[in-house]
Structure 1
Amino acid sequence: MSDTRKRLDWVDMAKGLSIFLVVIMYCAASVGEDTGQTGFLHWTIAFAMPFRMPEFFMLSGLFLSQVIDRPWRAYADRRIVHYLYFYALWAVIHIVFKIALIGRDPGGALGALAFAIVEPYGVLWFIYMLGIFGLVSKLLHQGKVPHWAVLLVAAGLQIASIHTGSYLIDQFAAYFVYFYGGYVFAPHLFALASWSSANTRAALGVLAAWAAINAVMVFSPGFRMDPVHIQIGWGALPILHMILAFAGATAIVIGAALLSTIAWMDWLRWLGSKSLVIYVAFVLPMGIARTLLLALGVHEPNIVSLLTMIVAITAPLVLWWLTQVTGLGKFLFERPSWAHLPGTNGSPRRKAIPAE
């Protein structure tokens, strides 16, 4: 149990780092758009550009091998329906709040709801794609397609930098290789995490070397940054971009393994265990906090970004805590029995499954 707990600890630690990077990116871009200025969060997210989302997808594929051999119903409930439930629920909440209520456009909200079925909506695209990746991975497994062949094609799609105008197709092409890579390379990644925990100095040396190379690739000629958009340098080149993505994702594994050995960093592990809670709910409080700060006359981008980020991360956790204490609204973060496929864990007369 101790070894298993350690394995899960570093994964949750990595998810904690991941959710910070996601929130930082949206805070930096939204504050930059409103103030017309850049701040320290812009430089942070610029450094993380090559690996910010790839490592999140790679982490999501780590435990796929534990469920992919299950019968279709059990697998679909856990790896497809699970994510689509939270996507559908929070897409409705976001669209109703932002378009129907704030935008006062009920007709537009209905159109957005219909479109969200076939195209991922807003920040929730990540959860939508996890359901799609789970479905495609199971079909490939059922068809006994060799891992090397899947990775080769997936890498080709990523390198091709496909832009069809369909967010679903484009994001699938851009990120499936990382999700499937997490699945295929999971044993090696767990071994790397164990090695990192046992060889602190060597692991720190590897991280230092990676950080230097990543910085050179990001801030090299071609790098441009404005308050909303970031264009990295040599790291944007095909093939090199994918290599940097996998290298950065691997660095997150090493860093998370090292952090999991530090007792006072356990808060980050706990936060990572609630990463999906934060992901689905951070956008609305982020927007409210940013709007209030600007209305109060706070325009310094670093201060606005930092305070907005704090609210964006803590507000969903407070909401989750209230649902646990009061018993009201648990469906926001726990899939109720009716949202499970019949005969699976969590279906009627069984316990609801939390977002994580």
Structure 2
Amino acid sequence: MAETTASPQRPAGGRIGWVDTGKGICIILVVLMHVAGGLEGATGQESWIDPLIAWAKQFRMPGLFLLSGLFVPRLVGLGWSAFDDRKIVPLAYFYLLWFSINTLMRSPPWGEAGLSGFVQNYALGLVDPFGVLWFIYLLAIFFVVAKAVWRCRRVALMMAALLAMAPLSTGWMVPDQFTAYFVFFLAGAVFSAEIRAAADRAADHSGKTFLFWAGWFAVSALATPFLGHDVEMAPLGVHLLLGVAGVAGILLSAVLLAGRLPWLDYCGRNSLPIYLAFFLPMVIGRTVLLRSGIPLDPGVAALLLTAISVAVPLLMHRLVRGTPLAFLFARPAWLGLRPRAAGQRELGSSL
């Protein structure tokens, strides 16, 4: 009789378990960074959680970009029209929608800045991505560039690595983040088959994998106090080395934890709603918490608010499904370059 029970590494539905786990880890750490930074800015108090955030810097975004790049080989064979419809149009839609929501909240036309301030902020956000949404903006660019250079992808990867050795620091999000992170996205695409095979082998030898993970954890934790928040001032190439080491660590962590924490995997499968909407409960929760006067330790407050900021978007995502508000997390059927065949998957809820 055929085996029908999916393994933790490759659950039913065609998803890869450890990829969801890795995305879950990364997206929660992204939310924690923004929550803790906002609380620290509002209160002027540093927290015991700051070293954790500094440590996670080496793998938080490199890991998220590499995991996003793993599935590029499935798409690059499509024509540009089909490729844009599958990846670029949905990402552009989500960026414009949630950027508009953010801008209306931050500087509404009826606010102090007036209509001119709203228009200026909106126009700037079209060329220099706004705040927390920069990842969505850059991800669309990364997909386009990856497809454009695919025939000479290994040469492009070497060039991206050279750029990442000394990322730009112009103050503009696109060139700065492109040079810092495109190498990880393209590496995930170029070495997709090798990374997946290595993950399968690691899952089959969990004891050895744990020893490798423990060694990585010890070395990376020791490096953080010396590099941490001051990594921008580190010598040439350290940015790239830390990112490569961090990606290895997040892959090991994901393989070891895959299927063991269902809530973490669920966050990874639904990383897009979390990323798009976490700022809403974060801002509201921070305001309520500070005005309540409840004496909470800053680190504990950051963890509590992070849990809320992750849970609320997931709840929103479930509640709006099948309602007129579904457009918040799903591209409308009419917005596309090509008609979709029955049963064709829309951009999923994972980044």
TM above 0.5, yes or no, is yes
**Which residue of 1 is the match for residue 281 of structure 2?**
285
Specify every segment of 5 or more residues in structure 1 that has no aligned partner in the other structure, as ranges. 224-229
Superposition map of 1:76-115 within 5 A: 76-100=84-108, 104-107=112-115, 108-115=117-124
User: 1:297–1:345: structure 2 CA closer, same or farther, 3 Å change rule?
Assistant: farther
Following superposition, the deviation at residue 269 of structure 1 comes to 0.7
How large is the Cα RMSD of the aligned pairs?
2.2
**Which residue of 2 is the match for residue 32 of structure 1?**
40
Q: C-alpha offsets along residues 116-164 of structure 1, whole Å, 9 cap, x if unaligned?
A: 11111110000000100111111112xx22x221111101111122122
**Which residue of 2 is the match for residue 301 of structure 1?**
298
- Secondary structure at 1:40 match in 2: coil
Following superposition, the deviation at residue 101 of structure 1 comes to 7.4
**Which residue of 1 is the match for residue 31 of structure 2?**
23
Superposition map of 1:192-341 within 5 A: 192-220=198-226, 230-232=229-231, 236-262=234-260, 265-299=261-295, 300-324=297-321, 327-341=323-337
**Which residue of 2 is the match for residue 342 of structure 1?**
338
Following superposition, the deviation at residue 216 of structure 1 comes to 2.0
Q: C-alpha offsets along residues 297-339 of structure 1, whole Å, 9 cap, x if unaligned?
A: 1353123212211211111111111102x61300000111122
- Secondary structure at 2:11 match in 1: helix
Distance (whole Å) between structure 2 residues aligned to residue 104 and residue 289 of structure 1: 24
**Which residue of 2 is the match for residue 226 of structure 1?**
none
Pair 1:154 & 2:160 matched: yes
> Which one-letter code corresponds to 1:79 in the other structure?
K
Specify every segment of 5 or more residues in structure 2 that has no aligned partner in the other structure, as ranges. none
Among residues 133, 139, 160, which one is paired with 1:124 in the alignment? Answer: 133
> Which one-letter code corresponds to 2:113 in the other structure?
D
> Which one-letter code corresponds to 2:329 in the other structure?
F
Contact 1:337/1:350, CA 8 A, preserved across alignment = no
- Secondary structure at 1:76 match in 2: helix
- Secondary structure at 2:338 match in 1: coil
> Which one-letter code corresponds to 1:301 in the other structure?
P
Following superposition, the deviation at residue 214 of structure 1 comes to 0.9
Distance (whole Å) between structure 2 residues aligned to residue 104 and residue 243 of structure 1: 46
Q: C-alpha offsets along residues 253-304 of structure 1, whole Å, 9 cap, x if unaligned?
A: 1211111142xx1121111100011000001210110111010113531232
> Which moved further from structure 2: 41-50 or 56-65?
41-50
- With normalisation by structure 2, the TM-score equals 0.90
Pair 1:188 & 2:175 matched: no
Q: Quick one: percent identity of the two aligned structures?
A: 36
Pair 1:58 & 2:66 matched: yes
- With normalisation by structure 1, the TM-score equals 0.89
Contact 1:24/1:41, CA 8 A, preserved across alignment = no
